[in-house]
Chain A
Amino acid sequence: MKFLASAWEQVYGLLVEDGQIAVGTLAAFAAAAAWSALAGEELRDSAGPLLFVLLMSLLLVNLYTTGRKAAGSRITH
């Protein structure tokens, strides 16, 4: 049972180590999908660069907040 729980924790952790990044990634993809569906033929291809910009912004914001949190406290394992 402990092994199964450990395996599930590992599988869950593979995709969702940081909730903000995982949810943000899905939200960015959903936003790009919405843009692709609603923007029309001429602007559909801009959904690709939009996805890139959203994801890189998410990464920078997440790292910034993580860095601030870590700098503000010393957590030892």
Chain B
Amino acid sequence: MILTLAIAAVPAFVASIVEWVEAFTIVVAVGNTRGWRSPILGTLAGLATLAVIVGVFGTPLIIFHEQVSQSFHIVVGVLLLLFGMRWLRKSILRFAGIVALHDEELIYQREVAELRAQGLSLSRWDNIGFWFSFKAVLLEGLEVAFIVIALGAQGGLALQAAIAGAVAAFLVTTLLGAMLHKPLTFVPENFMKFVVGAMLTTFGIFWGAGGLLVQWPVVGGTDFVSLLAILAGVSLTSWVAVRMLGNVAPQGARVAARNI
């Protein structure tokens, strides 16, 4: 039981930290440029929208979990694999220098320039500041929402644990940001994305295969060892991939992340 909850909460927490840091960069840019009222309201509106999305899509998982367990395992496994392989691939390309690392400071400066170009609102209500923040929180949070729903598909407690992980990450990010009033550039985003990618890929393989009625080896009354073995395999493959890319493109290519 504890393992199930940890499996739901930990990746949700780590994935959320990465996404909230990216959203926070934009919110801080708005706040420092145009004042804090509208970005705070935009952030709250974005969070409320995300809560509705998780509620709408997560609730049927809890209600119908027992009746369609096998199908859910397959759907959840595939979703986790699609997310996980994507994050894993991108983080490996960044480790190898093929894709540029996510530069929060650069993004912050770009957002500040764009916001300044929009001009300041003459009224108390700043529409631009609100929508910039709302959009940032909603779009970055969508990925968190999908991951929370996928991880929470194991049942009601797992969904609560995943939500708790995401909320805890939001609180940690907000607290740090409120203390520093600047982008959280010290967060090792790429390493965290790799960890999340590896974990989601591992869970995707484990649960997806479970949906195909595969019985993973049980050691000491638990299949935790199988999970660890899959994770070790994914990590080893990633290491091989980085070494391989080092030979294929020894100088890196430094292409813009969006082009690959």
**In the complex, are the beta carbons of B214 and A36 less than 8 A apart?**
yes
Residue of A nearest to B248 (CB): A67
**In the complex, are the beta carbons of B237 and A68 less than 8 A apart?**
no
A1 at the interface (CB under 8 A from B): no
Complex alpha-carbon distance, A6 and B254, angstroms = 26
Which of B87-95, B113-121, B187-195 lies at the binding interface? B87-95
Chain B residues positioned under 8 Å from A70 (CB to CB): 98, 249, 253, 255, 260
Chain B residues positioned under 8 Å from A60 (CB to CB): 237, 240-241, 244
The main secondary structure of chain B at its interface with chain A is helix
**In the complex, are the beta carbons of A3 and B135 less than 8 A apart?**
yes
B167 at the interface (CB under 8 A from A): no
Q: Which of B65-99 contact A (CB under 8 A)?
A: 74, 77-79, 81-83, 85-86, 88-90, 92-93, 96, 98
Known: A25-B78, A64-B248, A67-B245. A51 touches B208 (CB 8 A): yes
The main secondary structure of chain A at its interface with chain B is helix
Chain A residues positioned under 8 Å from B77 (CB to CB): 29
Chain B residues positioned under 8 Å from A36 (CB to CB): 212-214
How far in angstroms is the closest Cβ of chain A from B205?
A: 5
Chain A residues positioned under 8 Å from B107 (CB to CB): none
Complex alpha-carbon distance, A66 and B146, angstroms = 27
How far in angstroms is the closest Cβ of chain A from B157?
A: 25
Chain A residues positioned under 8 Å from B175 (CB to CB): none
Complex alpha-carbon distance, A44 and B93, angstroms = 34
How many contacting A-B pairs (Cβ < 8 A)? 139
- Considering residues B89, B146, B215, which has the most beta carbons from chain A within 10 angstroms of its beta carbon? B89
Chain A residues positioned under 8 Å from B92 (CB to CB): 59, 63
- Considering residues A37, A48, A58, A64, which has the most beta carbons from chain B within 10 angstroms of its beta carbon? A48
**24 A-B pairs, CB-CB below 8 angstroms?**
A3-B135, A7-B142, A14-B146, A16-B82, A21-B85, A36-B214, A37-B212, A44-B212, A48-B216, A52-B233, A59-B85, A59-B88, A60-B244, A62-B89, A63-B89, A66-B98, A67-B93, A67-B245, A67-B248, A67-B249, A70-B253, A70-B255, A74-B255, A75-B256
- Residues of chain B at the chain A interface (Cβ within 8 Å): 74, 77-79, 81-83, 85-86, 88-90, 92-93, 96, 98, 131, 135, 138-139, 142-143, 146, 201, 205-206, 208-209, 212-216, 230, 233-234, 237-238, 240-241, 244-245, 248-249, 251, 253-260
- Residues of chain A at the chain B interface (Cβ within 8 Å): 3, 6-7, 10-11, 14-18, 21-22, 25-26, 29, 32-33, 36-37, 44-45, 47-48, 51-52, 55-56, 58-60, 62-64, 66-71, 73-77
